[in-house]
Amino acid sequence: MLDMAKKQIIPAVMKYAADTAKGVNDLKAVGVDTSVQEEILQKIAEELKTLTTAVEKLEEVDEKALNLEDDMEKAAKCFHDEVFAAMEAVRKPADQLEGLVDKAYWPFPQYEDILFYV
């Protein structure tokens, strides 16, 4: 999950946001109202911040759990109580971003694609 977020989702979102921001600036230059696009970019920025914070937390608790490998009971409790919760915290903003980022940029099949091919 960490690799997916750090190496695929975050870079894809950043590329989409940069390309979209350039498009917004181009539209502004010719006098087009870009308030809707700017609002979407703001939502993307907020979700991206939430995602990166959640990824940092997941890294932290994953490291903690892995350092408990000598005590399997404590490690299992840490994974159950902390790692799984941190994974869920990563998934939520990633799911939100999937709905905001253009399909051409998203690095994985989207839910709608999976549903139609099952």
With 70 as the cut, is the pLDDT of residue 118 above it?
A: no
pLDDT tens readout for residues 6-59: 999 999 999 999 999 999 999 999 999 999 999 999 999 999 999 999 999 999
Pairwise CA distance, residues 12 & 106, whole Å: 6
Judge contact between 80 and 56, C-beta under 8 A: no
Q: Which long-range contacts (CB under 8 A, 24 or more apart) does 20-29 make?
A: 20/44
pLDDT tens readout for residues 62-87: 999 999 989 999 999 999 999 999 99
The domain at 2-101 falls in which architecture? Up-down Bundle (1.20)
Pairwise CA distance, residues 85 & 103, whole Å: 28
Spans of all domains in the chain = 2-101
Helix (H) or strand (E) holding 18: helix 10-29
